[in-house]
Amino acid sequence: MELSGAADPRRVGPYVVLGPLGAGGMGKVFLGRSPGGRTVAVKVVRPELADDPVFRARFGREVAAARRVSGAFTAPVVDADPDAPVPWMATAFVPGVPLSTAVARHGALPAPALRMLVAGLAEALGNVHAAGLIHRDLKPSNVLVALDGPHVIDFGISRAVEGTSHTRSGAVVGSPGYMSPEQALERLLTPISDVFSLGATAYFAATGLPPFGTGNAAALMFRVAGTEPDHAPLAGLDEPLRALILRCLAKDPAERPEPAEVVEDIERQGVDVAAGSWLPAPLTADIMAVRASTLTAPPPAPIPPTPPSPHTPPEPPTPPTTRTIGRRALLVGVAGTVAVAGGVTAAVALSDRGGGGVENAGRESESVRPRPTGAPPAAPAVATTPLTAPDAVVRRMRDLGEACAGLVLGGDVLIAFGLFDANGLDLDAKARWGPTTARIEPVSAKHRPGIVRNGVLYFCGAGGSAYIDGLHAMDVSTGRVLWSVAEPTGGRLLRVVAGILGDTVIVSGDIPGATPMRSFVWAVDTRRRATLWQETGTDVAAVLLVPPTTESMILAAGGGIGRDGEVVVLDPATGRRGWRNPVPGGSFGISGRRRACFAGGSYVYTGSSVTAVDPLDGRQRWTFRTGRDRVDTFGEPVASPDGRTVYVTCAVGLIALDAATGAPKWATAPQEGSLRESDSAGIRIADGNVYVADDRANLWAVDAETGKGRWKYSDPTQDATNVLLTAVGGGRVWGANRTSLVVVAASGA
């Protein structure tokens, strides 16, 4: 990463500029770091655009809309000031390589990676469209290829430029070689326009060639509007994938698939990875190098808070010194999790007859094109309760001094992880110990930051005096790291502590660059502080469940090209595989979530259905589906403390299912927004409450028995792109947003 030049700002808003990332017609993008250590991409608008009041108004509206966009495959907005002398916007920094650069360096993507790319881009577009936006400029340079999947960037900005007085290059909506025909002809655009750009981007990734050749803008727009791309370069693809790309490139918008249909098509095709890096090894190495270069950037130095004149180049920064830290890439896997074949299916449909069923509540945004609807499902329906509740009373608010990376409750101690250390707090958020040197894995922090057993926290990350990457045991009463065990091979990526069986800690992780792509399970003996066994394979995915007893098995999920996914059990004593069950449909997800729980004596896991199986022989006990006319994707299921109820979110809301039968007990959804799982911290259960976040940045406390709302909390400084990290228990709820920590009573009072 090059250092900032003399004409570059030293600070933008609260962010210290570490160096330039790129430039475009609208302005320049810098790598920035907050006082708390958060790394962001800061986009600064060109000064001449800043003088246009029409642009400012539109830019402000688009920033507000872009804040609503969330999901695994976007780069969400974390901060912005459209009213600054020079407007700017900060997004989450994604350590990755532009797709255009990746293909130029390493050639076309292989078919498995291409499928992952197409599905990830389609899911990202679905999130953009659900926020009321049309991207309008999807192209290879606006796609970042990262270890956790593709990320769409610069969403909504092209809409801000439209209508200003600037018409020269860089202020035109869209890119000629990738815009849709209706965009090239200046016709009314709908969200389906972005699907054409998705097809054009996929064509480039599959062939290394732009779909409509090269040339000036007028020539490219003429070809886009009136000619077909050359089909010959796609001949090496299998027919389903080739046909899908060409459907996306249809001239008639009505003939293109919607983003959700693209995802469903890829799911039917299958994907030949179970977990691990989805990219070829050389490209994975490039991304790891990008991540390393940002982690070795210096910490921000104090700068006098005197802002430069908006049009006067500020003083150049002092060349920094470099500090190297331990690093670990974020890598997520693929899992086939739909319905298990065999056994009796006890599907319960949720009907919208009479407008009182789950079908109508909290539904995803539908396409502008109508969908055909079938006959009402014959299975029993369950009424949806509108989710309403008074605002909670904040009992205490604390400034942590740095960005929070994860919260863990251990008895009467709340452990708050920062980027490089941890602090212990009492239940009222007052300091008890710290800081101590410890860093938690990013995937762990959001979903499963660690497990506390007998006063010891077991977590994946870096810690101890040597700051080694591995499994660590921390005394929660003092913060002292008692011992650490490094991952034996030194080249595998630890993800989460999946569970503890007696004296054995089970860890899941991934193997970067492996071909075929693989994951691993690592068992560590806490008495000997040594490895018991490791098991690797393409069928051992990140969906890993360790039930609470040693008699039970470990559940993993996987899948492959041309075949259904499957669920597999592993012997916790040896790692040997046991029974397997196919998972029809080959559904997959790219997430750090477990998407499985143990309830009512069954393994329960989710995909396009919620399925329960017998842990001894894998026989299916029940399956739950919403019965809607489209495929639903369920979030991570969570069992009640007594194991009698399973709580899960989907597009229709939060649903409570009987763990023994799969029958719905209640369902609820907010009147505005959706509880559908995106990038939130997932469901938490404690003190008779189910805690769940919506896409409007509200945290809801729902009565676990009745489904009625008890209270909601909304941080005025938070938006839907910032995950509220939570810990619950002991009659309290703790929520961390950036550097702020709040404490709310379980009663909300």
Active site residue ranges: 137
Q: At 132, which amino acid appears?
A: G
DSSP-derived pairing of the beta strands 638-639 and 27-33: unpaired
Closest CA to 400 of 378, 425, 382: 425
β-pair partners for 504: 501, 525
575 and 534 in contact (C-beta within 8 Å)? yes
How is residue 700 written in tokens?
């809801």
Residue ranges in 531-633 assigned as alpha helix (H): none
CA angle 518, 522, 523 (to 5 degrees): 155
**Which string of DSSP letters, residue by residue, matches 424-445?**
EE-TTS-EEEEEEEEEE-HHHH
- What distance in Å separates the CA atoms of residue 449 and residue 254, rounded to the nearest whole number? 45
Q: In whole angstroms, how far apart are CA 440 and each of 424, 444, 496, 660? A: 14, 7, 9, 36
How is residue 33 written in tokens?
């770091």
Q: At 556, which amino acid appears?
A: A
Asked whether residue 665 is marked as a ligand-binding residue, the answer is no
What's the number of CA atoms in the CB half-sphere (13 Å) around residue 233? 19
Reduce the DSSP state of residue 552 to 3 states and report it: coil
Any residues with CB less than 8 A from the CB of 479 and at least 6 apart, and which?
A: 415, 422, 423, 424, 433, 434, 435, 436, 438
β-pair partners for 333: 591
- What distance in Å separates the CA atoms of residue 451 and residue 738, rounded to the nearest whole number? 23
- What distance in Å separates the CA atoms of residue 89 and residue 104, rounded to the nearest whole number? 29
Rg (CA), the chain: 25
695 and 649 in contact (C-beta within 8 Å)? no
Query: Annotated binding residues, as ranges?
Result: 43
| Residues annotated in a binding site for ATP | 43
